Structure 1
C-alpha cells in the first residue's frame, strides 16, 4: 500500500487534530511561474481566466506571458528590475504578473485607489523602471508618475480584457460618459498595453535563484508610518502555495473555479486567488469591483468552487435578495481571513451554501498565510487554528521578546518558516526589528491553548490601557457581534484625563434597528468586566475598511486624536 503524505489524518484519542503532514521542500527550487508552465502542459485547453465574455486557456496565458516577457526584455528590463502594476482584478493583471515574472523582474503590486502621497512614496521607494496602469489612473496620475522617469509606461483599458461585442459596447459606453481620456501614447515612453504581445519572440527566465530573487515587492499597509516593501522571493511564495495545498488536500484534484474577489494587489488575494489557483490548474474569475448584488449573479453564472474572502464580504452577500442555495451552492470551500468571523455569520453562510469555511491568519511578511483551522478534528470558535506545515509558532513575552511563554499566557506571536520574507526593501533597521534569529515577530498579541490552537487577541499597538488594565478591542467587538441589532463594531482607545485611555466603540446597526447607547452598554455589562465597558458609543452608517474588508481601526483612532487636538481629521484612505 502506497502511503499518501497528504491523506487526511484521524484525530487522536482525545479528539485533537493530528499534526499537519510534514512539508516537502522538493520542487521549491524553481521559479514561481513553474506552476503556470505545469498547468499549461497538463491542461492546455482548460480555461485559466474567465472574465465576463472572455476566456483564456492555460496554453494561451503562458504564451501571452512569455511574449510579454520578451517585449519587456527588449525594452531593457533586467533581472530584479521592479515593475509597478497598478490594475484592478482583470485578465490584464494576471497576464502582466506572469509576464514580469517570466522576464525575471519583480512585481510591485500597487493599489489602484492610492492617493498621491501614497503613490509617490511607493514609486520613490521601489524605484520601479516600468509601470503598467489602467487608462483612467494614468490620466489622473501621469504628471506625478512622470517625475520618476520610468523607462516605459504601458496603459490598458478595461475592455482590453473583453471580447467582441462586449468590448465594443463597453468602449462606446465609456466614450459616451467622457471616460476615454487622451493617454498621450507617444511611442517613446508611453505605449498601449497590447503592444507587449504583438511580437513572436518568447522569453522565460532561466537564471533565477528562487531563494534570493524577489518575485513580489509587496508593500505593507503603513499602519505605523510609511509603508515598507516586504521582499517575497520565488521560494517564499512557492512555499506558501505548497503549504496551502498540503492543508487543503481536497482542492485541485478536479477542475476548480476560484472566485477572484479579493484584490490581486493585496498579498492575500495574490497568493490565494492567483498563485494557488494556477498551481491547482483552476479557472480564475477576476472581479474588478465588489458589488454584492452583481457578485451573487456572477457566482450563480460561473459556479465557483473556491471562494477566498473576508467576513464583511460574506455578510454583505447574505443580505442580498438573490443569495439562495441555488445561486451559491457551487461553493465547496471558503477561506476567510483579514478579520475574525463571528460564529453566527459562519453558521449562516455555511448553512446557506453548504460550504466548509476555513478561518486562518497571515501577514504580508509571511506571503501571507501562517495558520489555518484544520479540515479534520474540529475548529475552535475565535481561533486562527494551527500553524501551516513547515511553520513554527510561539508566544513571546511583551517586554523583551526573548522569553517563550507557556500555554494560556498572552504575548506577541512569532513565526518561522519558508514563507517568511527576506526582509524589508532598503530598510535594514526595520528588518532587524521584526526578523530575529529567523523568527518573524508579527506585532499581534496572541495566546496558545493546551491543544495547540492559537488565538489572536489584538494588534500590540491596538492594546488599550485603561487605569492599569489591558483591554483588547477585539474582545469587545466579538461580544457586540452577538447583539441582534449590531451589524459590526470597532473599539478604539481614546485619551482620558484620569484613566490614561478610555474605550470608545463605533457601532453600525443592522438595517431596521436603532439600538440606544444604554442598550449597547447594558448588553456589554452583562458579558464583560467593568473596566472593559466603553465610556463612549458612537453610531455610524458604515465603518472605514480596506479593500479586503478589514476595518480601519487606525482611521477611527486618528479621527479621535484629531478631535482631541481641536482639528478636523479625516481618516486616511486605505492602501488595501
Structure 2
C-alpha cells in the first residue's frame, strides 16, 4: 500500500486534521516519517507486526500510517480494553511490538488525547503468517470474538469505494468524526477517506453534546457529522440548538436509526440522518447517505448482496478470518452477515432488519453476548449464567452459596471486560429457569419474571 501516494500526497500547507489545533499535510508527513524511523530503530522490518494500543490521538494516526509505510501489519487494540483484554490480544496474535501511551489515558468523554507514545518489543513476537495489512477484533478480545484481517488491496478498494458514494464528504468538506478510529467506520470512512480526498477530519475535544455543538459552531467549511445513533441522539435532545449555517449532513453506522430519532433530528436541525451499513469484515456494504430511501439502502459500489434463508449474504472471494475459514461465517465465496434483511428484486435496495445471532450494539459498539456470558461463567462462585439484551445488557446467575454476591461478580467483570460490554445489572437467582429439555431459557421477559418472583415475599 503506497501510503505516501494515497494518504500523504498534496500541498504541505493543506489542513487535513484538527485535533484541538489544525494539522497540515506537511506536519503529518514529517510526523509519520519520524515514527517510521523510531519503529525501524526499535527493530521493525518489512513484513513485521505492530499492535497499536493508543487512544484517539495524533500519535495513533501517525503510528498506523508509519506501520503501513514500513510494510508491516497494524493490529488495532481498542484503548478502552482492560489489561486482561489487551494481554489476550497479544497472546492470540503474538505481534513483535506494541505501541502504548506514554501516560495513562483518562477522561471518558474526551474525543482525543494529547499523548506521547512508547514502542515496546514483545518477547515471543513473530512476523505475521498472512499478508494482511490490518488486523481488527470484531467484538472483543476473548471468548467467541473474531480476529479479522484485511489486505492492503482490500483497504485501497474500500477507500476508492467511498469516493463513488453520492453525497459522502470529500474535498472542501470538514468531517466531524465521532466514531472510533479503532473501528472500520472511523478508520476508513473517517481518517483514510479524508486524507485521500482532501476533506479535513475534525475530532471534538469533548464528545458530550456541548462539545459536539461547539465543534459544529466553529466549522469553517460545509460540515458532515459521522457517528453512531446514540451520539446523534444527544444533539436531538437539545431543545434550542444554536444556528449552524455550515452543517450539511449526518451519517450514522453501527446500529439502526429509530424513526423517532430520525424525525426529531430533522425537526431540530433541518438535516436528514443518512445511514450506512457495514461490517468490520468488509467495510461499508450499503448506504443511504442522503437519507432518501429510508429504511432501504443501496449496495455500496462494487458490493453484491443477496438473501439466503432470511440472512443477508455478501459476495467475498476469500475469508476475512484468521485461521481456518469458518463455514458458518464464510463459505463458497459468500460472507454470512448474520443480519436479517431483504433485497428488492427490482431496485436492488437492501433493508436490514436486525441481528440473527448473539451480537448486539451498545452505543454503536458491537458486543457479543456469548463473550460476556463466557467471562461471567468464569467468575468465582458462579454455577450458571445467562446474558441477554433487553434495551441494555442484563446478566442472570446462580451461585454456589460460598458467599460470592453481585458486587464481587461486578468487580470481577470490571477487570476483564471493557465498560461498554459489562452488564447494566447482575441478578442472582436461586436457579436459572430452563426448558423441559434442560436448556437455559434466554427470554428476557421470562428471566425477569423469575427474578421478580424470587424477590417477592413468601
TM-score (norm 2): 0.73
Which residue of 2 is the match for residue 44 of structure 1? 12
Shift of 1:352: 3.2
Q: Secondary structure at the match of 2:218?
A: helix
The aligned residue for residue 321 of structure 2 is 424
Shift of 1:262: 1.0
Alignment of 1:561-572 (within 5 A): 562-563=396-397, 568=406, 570=410, 572=417
The 2-side partners of 1:272 and 1:575 are apart by 24
Give 1:83's aligned residue.
Answer: 50
The alignment partner of 1:413 has SS state of strand
Aligned to 1:461: 357
Name 1:19's counterpart in structure 2: none
Shift of 1:247: 1.3
CA-CA distance at 1:138 after TM superposition: 8.5
Displacement of 1:123: 1.1
Q: Give the C-alpha shift of residue 438 in structure 1.
A: 1.8
Q: CA–CA distance in 1 between the matches of 2:305 and 2:4? A: 29
Counterpart check, 1:266 vs 2:183: yes
Q: 1:329 to 1:312 in 2, by over 3 A?
A: farther
Cα distance in 1 for partners of 2:35, 2:318 equals 27
Q: Which residue matches 1:63?
A: 30
1:35 has 2:6 as partner = yes
- 1:31-430 matches, within 5 Å, as 31=2, 34-37=5-8, 40-41=9-10, 43-52=11-20, 54-137=21-104, 158-160=113-115, 213-222=131-140, 225-249=143-167, 251-252=169-170, 254-287=171-204, 290-303=207-220, 305-320=223-238, 323-324=241-242, 326=243, 328-366=244-282, 368-373=283-288, 375=290, 378-381=292-295, 383=296, 385-397=297-309, 411-417=310-316, 423-425=320-322, 427-430=323-326
SS at match of 1:34: helix
- Report what 2:442 is aligned to: none
**1:239 aligned counterpart, secondary structure:** helix
The CA distance in 2 between the partners of 1:84 and 1:250, in whole Å, is: 30
CA distance in 2, matches of 1:365, 1:89: 22
- Answer yes or no: is the 8 Å Cα contact 1:50–1:286 preserved in 2: yes
User: For 1:79, what is the secondary structure of its paired residue?
Assistant: coil
The alignment partner of 1:59 has SS state of: helix
Determine the C-alpha separation between the residues in 2 that align with 1:69 and 1:316.
Answer: 39
Tell me the TM-score normalised to structure 1 length: 0.59
CA spacing shift, 1:108–1:189, aligned 2, 3 Å:
closer
- Supply the distance in 1 between the matched residues of 2:290 and 2:72 (Cα, whole angstroms): 37
RMSD: 3.4
Indicate which of 352, 362, 370 corresponds to 1:545: 362
The structure having more radius of gyration, on CA atoms, is 1
CA distance in 2, matches of 1:227, 1:32: 30
- Determine the structure 2 residue equivalent to 1:445: 340
Deviation track 1:467-517 (CA, whole Å, cap 9, x = no partner) reads xxxxxxxxxxxxxxxxxxxxxxx9xxxxxxxxxxxxxxxxxxxxxxxxxxx
Hey, what does 2:388 align to over in structure 1?
A: 557
Question: Post-superposition shift, 1:337?
Answer: 0.9
Structure 2 alignment gaps of length 5 or more = 107-111, 123-129, 373-386, 423-458
Name the CA shift for 1:35/1:249 in 2 (closer, same or farther; >3 Å): farther
Matched positions, count: 378
Residue 456 of structure 1: how far off its partner (Å): 2.1
